[in-house]
Amino acid sequence: MNWLARLFGEPAVALSPTQAGRLAAWQALPAADASLPLAQGRYVVVDVESSGLNVNRDRLIAIGAIAVVNGRIDLNDGLDIVLQQDKVSDKANILIHGIGGTAQRDGVPPADALLTFLEYLGKDPLMAFHVAFDNTMISKALKRHLGLRFEHPWSDLAYMSPALYIELVHRCRTLDDWTTHFGIGNFARHSALADALATAELLLALGPRMRHRQIDCFRKMRDLYLAQKRATSPLAGM
Amino acid sequence: MTAPQALVAATLDHLTRFSPFDQMERAHLAWMIERSKLGYYARGEVVASPDAGEARTFFIIKQGVIHGEQDVVRAQEDATWLELHEGECFPLGALLSRRNVNSTYKAGEDTFCYELAADDFRELLRMSPAFHDFCTRRIANLLEQSKQVIQAQYVKSTSEQQSMTSPLSAVIRREPVTCAPDAPMRQVLETMNELGIGSMVAVDADKRPLGIFTLHDVLKRVTLPGLDLATPFSAVMSPEPVTLPPHALAYEAALVMARHGFRHVLVEETGRLKGLVSEKDLFSLQRVGLRQLSGMIRKAENLDSLIHAAADIRQLAHNMLAQGVTAEQLTQIISTLNDLLTQRIIELELEADPAAREVEFCWLALGSEGRLEQTLNTDQDNGILFAVPDGRDAAAVREVMLPFAKRINLALAECGFPLCNGEVMASNPKWCLSLAEWKDTFDKWIFHGDPMALLYSTIFFDFRPLFGAEHLAEELRDWLAAESPKNTRFLHQMAVNALRNRPPLGIVRDFVTGDGHTIDLKLNGITPFVDATRIYCLAYGLKATNTLQRIREMAGPLNLSEQDAEAYGDAFLFIQLLRLRLHHEQCQLGQPLTNKVDPDHLNALDSRILREAFRQARKLQTKLGLDYQV
């Protein structure tokens, strides 16, 4: 059945009228202004936990997110949601993110969880460390459970950080490297929410260098990320 | 909007490591966290400043360091006067009184702060009594908490050590120092000397004790027989030492020692050496009472018993620290007992010296003894003030008094009060004077002061009668109180001198001056208070010598607010308490007593109060600087 579905395109997702209404309301929201100054906008910093690192096979288990509003992390504007799983991820994986079998089964039904995420997000720009992974996991889940093609603006701290701190490129690669460099703690590594908070703190810590280079709005942050991505891709220079 | 529970919980866990958040109800804290934003400040960035208008934000440092700096007009190289760390919050005064902040707050390193809007801050004040209490009575509160911590620590240590029914496992202090049986004696003796230990135990490869050698054995087994120091330890040690298991009780060890005439017993568990108990360890288990001790001193018939009493005074000081006696009471008790001890020494010497008995004199306590602020490492500062009978001259009386004073100085030294390096002692002819000569000396200092005179003033002007004709000392004090306010140049010079010694700005690595990453609690902490209060009292003709007493007396004429006076006193006492604890720990470890403390060894609460205390010292100095235009 699955391979057929894949062959003939996604089947129409069955949403309840309420769910369909919530999705339509989100879709109707105006897009965020990408030229809004950093100190005035709202950014959502996100991190996901999944059943594994294979974006094709593994499933989204949890989303953690925290908003940076007017240049400050708003502790009251966060999201920490576990998606209900029909199949609990294997033990080795549970050991990494710490979301046990019961918690996985007790999670929020995926469609509702994802709608909650969208409503929390609004149309505000997304930030993450290694967007490719987070974006793929979220997009796949949105496609599967809401039938939504998720084309949302992202920027990636995994590229912005080395672009701003060229002198640290050889020392800092992972999120841990960068947060350690800035002395940023993490109250529970591999919890989506804690990692999102650490990523948000990293974003604030990049602030002075960004100001120095007049990177003062989301568009410029995204440009910085994309330029760095091109420059460091294996095809660069060819 | 919601705050994720995991985030609130993690923030709560973090904040409850600090005061006052550890005292607040969790619901109130959660309320606060839900309303907080998290801001970031790069090193050097301004967080709050006086020209930003009324303070609108309450900051709690999540990580990093914030420096408070005085306004730009007076800002100089040492403009930093406040240093705040993780878990500390600011600005309290400005928020409470709805005004601008007084200082510029800058990030000393990359810093994250939780930020709460002023309205929420005020709501929290209404909601949480613990928070309200903290914000309005901050120093007093911190001190109270620190005292509780100290008490808890010491109560634990004394209840463990108090009784002769404690198991030996609780009495053993350290890992025993051991050597191999074939170690040459030279090496063993050198090690014992270096570590300042009284005994050495030889063990085999399995840590089984083979024999013991103590300092007591040196005379008979090494020195007198002229032993070749290459001789192996095994040939000199007492083999097959007596051992007891760790669960044996202290009095059993005492019995073994009494029966065999040993000074040490080894503690052994399943064939392995666990520790060593000395006679001294057991002796210190017996508590000494204040009344009993003063009785002992009064009845002492010879120097030997006074030497014992002096050791007991130190032991008593420890027990009192344990009971949470305040620094003020404790230093006064130490001073009182030391007074008694000195008085008894003088009485004994008088009995043996008929010529001195004929002289009407007063023994003067100077320096910290004069201020009733003695700690455990005070060297002697004393002098004699005598009356000159008709028909004799001062020089002749001095001839009588000097040898008498010398014997007293030496006896005091034997009791553990080292002779004064600067020769500020009654046996020095310069400090064994008649009333007229003292007035003359003081007069020269005040009206023709040179640098040495300024230094002497800080020791001698704190004089207090300790024995004998008190009316002579009173007359000198009255004279000084009348004369000292007359020369403002002298007071100005004293202020200049006092302000050369600045309390450290903070206690982070960068700010600590002084050798080996230490803070000198006496020089940097106590002296600024002592110096400033002395100057004000001399200026206003006030007669107190004790620093707290001086603060109380000067509050009126100086228009000090009750709060300020209290804060100075609390700060001074806290530093004294830290000093006493430091000395006590050094005593226990058998180390020489110093006033130097490594800030990294202080617990978070103490280090925070110490910084606050230094801040008070700087505040008092700023006032002194302004009043005397330094």
Q: A119 — contact with chain B (CB < 8 Å)? A: no
According to the model, what pLDDT value does residue B161 have? 39
B42: chain A residues, CB-CB within 8 Å: 205, 207-208
Contact check, Cβ <8 Å, A76/B2: yes
Signed CA dihedral, B124, B127, B130, B135: sign only: positive
Q: Shortest CA distance to B236 belongs to which of B196, B179, B278?
A: B179
* Both tokens assigned to A184: 């940023």
Residue of B nearest to A202 (CA): B40
Subunit contact B42:A78, Cβ cutoff 8 A: no
Characterize B209-224 residue by residue with b for buried, 16 or more Cβ atoms within 10 angstroms of its Cβ, and e for exposed.
bbbbbbeebbeebbee
Instruction: Please name the helix (run of DSSP H) or strand (run of DSSP E) that holds residue B555, with its range, or none.
Output: helix B547-558
Strand order across the B199-203 sheet:
B178-179, B199-203, B209-214, B238-239
Look at the block and give the residue holding tokens 């960035």. Answer: B45
Q: What is the residue whose two structure tokens read 């619901």?
A: B27
Whether A48 is covered by a domain: the verdict is yes
CB contact under 8 A, B6 and A72: no
- Asked whether residue A28 is domain-assigned, the answer is no
d(C-alpha B423, C-alpha B296), whole Å: 30
B533 phi and psi, to 5 degrees?
Answer: -70, -35
CB pairs under 8 A between A and B: 77
B36 touches chain A (CB under 8 A): yes
Look at B40 and A201 and tell me if their CB atoms are within 8 Å: yes
* pLDDT over threshold 80, residue A231: yes
Residues from chain B contacting residue A66 (CB–CB below 8 Å):
7
| Rg (alpha carbons) of chain A, rounded to whole number | 18
Residue A5 domain flag: no
Task: Using CB atoms, pick whichever of B4, B6, B40 lies closest to residue A207.
Answer: B40
Contact assessment for residue A23 and residue A146, using Cβ atoms and an 8 Å cutoff:
yes
Residue numbers of chain B with a pLDDT score lower than 70:
1-3, 70-82, 137-166, 173-174, 251, 254-255, 258-261, 280, 282-292, 319-320, 322-326, 329, 377, 505-516
SS3 B102: coil
With b meaning 16 or more CB within 10 Å and e meaning fewer, what string describes B398-418?
bebbbebbbbbbbbbeebbbe
pLDDT value, residue B78: 41
Q: Is the pLDDT of residue A193 over 60?
A: yes
Whether A20 is in a domain gets the answer no
Note if the pTM is more than 0.80. no
Q: Check if A80 contacts B (Cβ < 8 Å).
A: yes
Question: How close is the nearest chain A Cα to the Cα of B556, in Å?
Answer: 48
Cβ contacts of B64 on chain A, cutoff 8 Å:
183
Find the CB nearest B10 among A77, A188, A201.
A188
φ and ψ at residue B118, rounded to 5 degrees:
-55, -40
Considering only alpha carbons, which residue of chain B is nearest residue A69? B37
Looking at the complex, report in whole angstroms how far the Cα of residue B14 sits from the nearest Cα belonging to chain A: 9
Q: What amino acid occupies position B479?
A: W
Domains present along chain B, CATH in parentheses: 5-136 (2.60.120.10), 168-283 (3.10.580.10), 290-486 (3.30.460.10), 497-627 (1.20.120)
CATH of the domain at A92: 3.30.420.10
- Label residue B195 exposed, middle or buried (CB < 10 Å: 0-12, 13-18, 19+): exposed
Q: What does the H/E/C string look like for chain A?
A: CHHHHHHCCCCCCCCCHHHHHHHHHHHHCCCCCCCCECCCCEEEEEEEEECCCCCCCCCEEEEEEEEEECCEEEEEEEEEEEECCCCCCCHHHHHHHCCCHHHHHCCECHHHHHHHHHHHHCCCCEEECCHHHHHHHHHHHHHHHHCCCCCCCEEEHHHHHHHHCHHHCCCCCCHHHHHHHCCCCCCCCCCHHHHHHHHHHHHHHCHHHHHHCCCCEHHHHHHHHHHHHHHHCCCCCC
Structure tokens at A202: 């990293």
- Write out residues 163-192 of A within 8 Å (CB-CB) of B: 182-185, 187-188, 191
The total number of structural domains that make up chain A: 1
Indicate the average pLDDT of chain A: 86
Mutation target vs B (from A49, A68, A75, A182; most B CBs, 10 A cutoff): A75
Question: Which of A74, A77, A183 comes nearest B110 by C-beta?
Answer: A183
Sign of CA dihedral B412, B413, B415, B418: positive
Asked whether the predicted pLDDT for residue A22 surpasses 70, the reply is yes
Of B57, B159, B73, B71, which is closest to residue B114 (Cα–Cα)? B57
Q: How far is CA B593 from CA A147, B377, B513, B590, in A?
A: 77, 6, 20, 9
- Token reading at B510: 């960068």
Return the pLDDT at B387: 94
pLDDT value of residue B187? 93
Of A72, A182, A183, the CB nearest to B38: A72
Q: Is residue A116 part of a domain?
A: yes
Helix boundaries (H) for B245-370: 250-260, 279-283, 290-299, 303-322, 327-351, 354-357, 367-370
- The answer to the question of residue A100 being in a domain is yes
Put simply, the answer to whether A208 touches B45 (Cβ < 8 Å) is yes
Q: Which residue's entry shows tokens 């607010």? A: B561
pLDDT at B158: 44
B positions 83-142 inside 8 Å of A (CB): 110, 112, 114-115
Residue A60 has pLDDT above 80, yes or no: yes
- Look at residue B514 in the predicted model and tell me its pLDDT: 53
Burial B341-369 (b: 16+ CB within 10 A, else e): bbbbbbebbbeebeebeebebbbbbbbbb
A111: domain range?
39-232
Name the minimum distance, in Å, from the CA of B42 to any CA of chain A: 7
ipTM of the shown complex: 0.83
**Residue A176 included in any domain:** yes
Decide if B34 touches A, using CB distance below 8 A.
yes
A236–chain B nearest CA distance, Å: 34
Residue burial B24-54, b: 16+ Cβ < 10 Å; e: rest: beeebbbbbbbbbbbbbbbeeeebbbbeeee
Q: How far is CA B477 from CA B470, B490, B544, in A?
A: 11, 18, 10
Query: Domain for residue A130, yes or no?
Result: yes
Residue of B nearest to A71 (CA): B39
SS3 B315: helix
Collect all residues with Cβ–Cβ distance below 8 Å to A14 and sequence separation of at least 6.
Answer: none
Tell whether A217 is within 8 A of chain B (Cβ).
Answer: no
pLDDT at residue B19, as a whole number: 81
The confidence score (pLDDT) of residue B77 equals: 39
Q: How far is A192 from chain B (nearest CA, A)?
A: 11
